[in-house]
Structure 1
């Protein structure tokens, strides 16, 4: 931007705005850069492509736009008192906030329901929907080194161990020609469904691909359902076998 640095260290822009020392700097090409958020309360405006991407991800779960008068904690506040930073995005996790669960304070901080501390402008952005409403996107930063709870590290090896013994059970029953009863077939099918479910859960712990994660998740779910069906069949068979005694 075009500007002039005054004798007292203040930067005067062509728009007539003044920025004190510490709120501006000079780029490598000689142009001036200013940070209005160091001088005034700021609101970040979501990048259009970024907001559209989030809407595509959430689809039907996208909440209704919130009127501006319900966004501000101060009912008499107006958008003109804030400085706006455009093309804002979230680094890690982003989601839409529901109406009534947040407020934007006079200093530009975000107040969330149930949270003890407020969030500065770096942790949210607004997506304009028409002239009188907007979506508010909350940004969550993940720690540089994320260590999942110990139980999530123990699940996969135990799932694999269970699958091995279930497969051995299936092989033992299938390779024994003397045992071909309905009860045996139920045990084989029950063990096979559980083995598939445990293998699917193990794979699900190790992948990060979204679509594949959903597919494997449903595979595990319906495999568990099928195992319960065969378990019920076992119970009915046992009941019919011993009801005459």
Structure 2
């Protein structure tokens, strides 16, 4: 019976945990790649080593997704491979402006000699659903793609810096498709909600501050013989579970939304938090039963 319960519990834990080395929007489908004995996968000339790819079941389809942005800078394209904006819509084109796609790179406003198509890995998907268009040909608008992947936008409202994962770039062709200019689709800023990083940090601080008091309670009951009765021992076990769970849960709170975390570390921390809380809740139930039996 214990073996069955342990197996069911492990299954539930593994199903509920999703540890990926990169976000979905920074992943590429490498299902058709060649896998080697060292667990690396080669797809379209790029090698994805162990830890730089993961498996995902998406709408009933088993996919193998690679993380090209680990150890390399990525740049989002607004249109698919071989396409560009033609009269406001993504359309295939054989124009030399996108074959290869090689927009100028800058350090601030100083032109760099680095070639974009050699420096960046292009991700052919937009990083967000809702975005606004920034046109370098519009009055007062300037776009400068930086070598580090950020975007420097000069607008009538003042200069704005955009993080690498908050925009996509593409070439825009006019009606006769003879001239091209650089445009960017910039994501709208996220509205601060209860899931903001500040709130997660506050959760983590609160959890860490609780640990010394739980530890003090544990030590008092451990070193005073008069308190080491049945109720005291249950309370010590309950506090012990929380003492283990809270620091690891605080660690998870501080790393919400981060990518590049090792799969092994993610699983180990998840198991520790899960079983520490299971232990504390079990002893809490025992304490409740003991109190009920005492006062009935």
Q: Which has the larger radius of gyration?
A: 1
Point out the structure with the larger helix share: 1
TM-score (ref. length: structure 1): 0.46
Q: Would you tell me which structure has more strand in proportion to its own residues?
A: 2
Q: TM-score, normalised by structure 2?
A: 0.39
